[in-house]
A and B are shown apart, each in its own frame.
Chain A
């Protein structure tokens, strides 16, 4: 076989494989949307699930997912920003810092099921939070924190050194320089990364099985007192999220329309994650343009 023929064959294989990957994603999305979209209705999105009858919805699960995402992000963002700022601006260049870097890397590769087990042991049992939104949010924080740290570091490292120096040369403190000059410039990178991280949190299930729990009390959506046990806002109630719900009805769903519900819920999940993705892209581009634009 001549080199030219080999080249042609190899090129066609590579092009074909790339096409196949696009097809797989298209097929995947198409399958989920075609199977799921038909099942999505206002009723489906708002009503409570049924255990053995058909016609159950995903209302509470959807609410739980959103609320849990919110709780997680308000814990993760300040912690992740702080730790990221430390790593990028304060950490001295020495062995200890390298050790910390290794630790962050290890934490980021710990499987989420392990994070869930850790949450079960420490948050649910030891601290006595029980299966609750709060325990779930903390477990997701553990799961998400290394990513947030990396995003912050990346963002701060993208700030030109002259910007930092200009602020310091004016006699501004390091902290003020970080918060008023560097963070605003790093914002597009941090924001984009955070939204993608939020998408990951929204779809996470394994870390939640044993922390936020696999059931939801009958929520009373007219009770907004965060301390009452049936209030949706109570952070110490168990809460099954959308992703956990999909897993549960697939493995032990008794309702006759379990498959349709799973498809509908998957479609909702995928659409949300896609929305996060597009929002991140769009916002990243928009902010980039705004910061570099000539007004």
Chain B
């Protein structure tokens, strides 16, 4: 399996006439974690949600520019958004498991995409839960409601759910910000594991988290990317004054 990344070129997002993201051109490499940091309202989440065209759901939201996966610009009207989203997983700030059993949460996607065989589904469920480091905790109660899990477990379930449909890219929107420190560190360990197989883009508020988990970091400010570099460079030797101010906690 060849690993796949994605890139954007002059991506802008408008809400009615307000521009939330301005001409962002970024390159996300396979098997790497890219962190998007910046103060609230800087457009990083909006940008992330544009990558799998989730902003299509919001009326009055217009996206211009290009999003490339391999040789396809997916920000074109003829893109089959449904098929596209199968290849781009997403994890939200607050865990949002379906109101179904743990098993069903995972099997739901693959079954829709054509895996009807019970054995194959069982296999996928186990694999996905193992990858999300949740198998040991849940193998005895796969058919219980997913809502009975703790917040951290729910978030790992959501990650398992998204990898069950075998995406190439996983987008994470502050995946640990609603969790306690122990759950957070589990999620971070998991991200480090997952980057072997996936291209991960993560939005985070927490600069320590960005420093811990990511290979590259982009710093957003008022809709623009101020600086994009290796994470070590960003945190040890930022080139721009704004970046320096932000990471040293002078604003944000």
- Give the B-binding residues of A (Cβ under 8 A): 92-93, 160, 162-174, 176, 180-181, 184-185, 291-295
A178 to chain B, nearest CB (A): 13
Q: Please tell me if B57 contacts chain A, counting CB pairs below 8 Å.
A: yes
**A contact residues around B162 at 8 Å (CB):** 169-170
B195 to chain A, nearest CB (A): 19
| A165 lies within 8 A of B92 (CB) | yes
**B contact residues around A162 at 8 Å (CB):** 92, 94, 96
Closest to A164 in B: B57
| A165 lies within 8 A of B57 (CB) | yes
- Would A169 and B52 be within 8 Å (CB), given that A293-B145, A295-B144, A295-B148 are in contact? yes
| C-alpha gap A291/B86 in the complex (Å) | 27
| B148 lies within 8 A of A294 (CB) | yes
Q: Please tell me if B99 contacts chain A, counting CB pairs below 8 Å.
A: yes
With an 8 Å Cβ cutoff, the count of chain B residues facing the other chain is 32
Our pick among B86, B94, B96, B144 for the contact of A171 (Cβ within 8 Å) is B86
26 cross-chain CB contacts under 8 A:
A93-B59, A163-B98, A166-B90, A166-B96, A166-B97, A167-B98, A168-B54, A168-B82, A169-B54, A169-B85, A169-B89, A169-B162, A170-B89, A170-B112, A170-B162, A171-B85, A171-B86, A171-B112, A172-B108, A173-B82, A174-B82, A181-B98, A184-B99, A292-B147, A294-B145, A294-B147
**B contact residues around A293 at 8 Å (CB):** 145, 147
| A165 lies within 8 A of B59 (CB) | no
Closest to B141 in A: A295
| C-alpha gap A289/B108 in the complex (Å) | 23
| B108 lies within 8 A of A171 (CB) | no
Q: Please tell me if B199 contacts chain A, counting CB pairs below 8 Å.
A: no
| A166 lies within 8 A of B144 (CB) | no
| A170 lies within 8 A of B145 (CB) | no
**B contact residues around A184 at 8 Å (CB):** 99
Our pick among A173, A174, A291 for the contact of B99 (Cβ within 8 Å) is A291
Chain B positions 57-89 with a Cβ under 8 Å from a chain A Cβ? 57, 59-60, 82-89
The 8 closest A-B pairs by CB, nearest first: A171-B86, A162-B96, A169-B90, A170-B109, A171-B85, A294-B148, A93-B59, A295-B145
Closest to A89 in B: B57
**A contact residues around B144 at 8 Å (CB):** 295
| A172 lies within 8 A of B109 (CB) | yes
B57 to chain A, nearest CB (A): 7
B56 to chain A, nearest CB (A): 9
Q: A171-B165, A294-B145 are in contact. List 17 more A-B contacts (CB 8 A).
A: A162-B92, A162-B94, A162-B96, A165-B57, A165-B96, A166-B90, A166-B158, A168-B54, A169-B90, A170-B108, A171-B87, A171-B113, A173-B82, A176-B112, A184-B99, A291-B147, A292-B147
Our pick among B86, B92, B99 for the contact of A170 (Cβ within 8 Å) is B86
B104 to chain A, nearest CB (A): 10
**B contact residues around A171 at 8 Å (CB):** 82-87, 109, 112-113, 165
| C-alpha gap A165/B86 in the complex (Å) | 12
| C-alpha gap A168/B84 in the complex (Å) | 10
**A contact residues around B145 at 8 Å (CB):** 293-295
**B contact residues around A180 at 8 Å (CB):** 108
| A170 lies within 8 A of B94 (CB) | no
**B contact residues around A166 at 8 Å (CB):** 90, 92, 96-98, 158, 161
B131 to chain A, nearest CB (A): 16
B69 to chain A, nearest CB (A): 14
**A contact residues around B99 at 8 Å (CB):** 163, 184-185, 291
- Write out, one digit per residue, whether chain B residues 21-51 have a CB within 8 A of any chain A CB (1) or not (0): 0000000000000000000000000000000
| B96 lies within 8 A of A160 (CB) | yes
**A contact residues around B83 at 8 Å (CB):** 171
Closest to B90 in A: A169
B179 to chain A, nearest CB (A): 15
| C-alpha gap A162/B94 in the complex (Å) | 9
Closest to A161 in B: B57
| C-alpha gap A165/B60 in the complex (Å) | 18
**B contact residues around A168 at 8 Å (CB):** 54, 57, 82, 85
**B contact residues around A176 at 8 Å (CB):** 112
A54 to chain B, nearest CB (A): 56
**A contact residues around B86 at 8 Å (CB):** 170-171
Chain B positions 124-140 with a Cβ under 8 Å from a chain A Cβ? none
**A contact residues around B87 at 8 Å (CB):** 171
| B165 lies within 8 A of A165 (CB) | no
**B contact residues around A167 at 8 Å (CB):** 98, 108
Closest to A94 in B: B59
**A contact residues around B52 at 8 Å (CB):** 169
| C-alpha gap A293/B96 in the complex (Å) | 15
| A170 lies within 8 A of B165 (CB) | yes
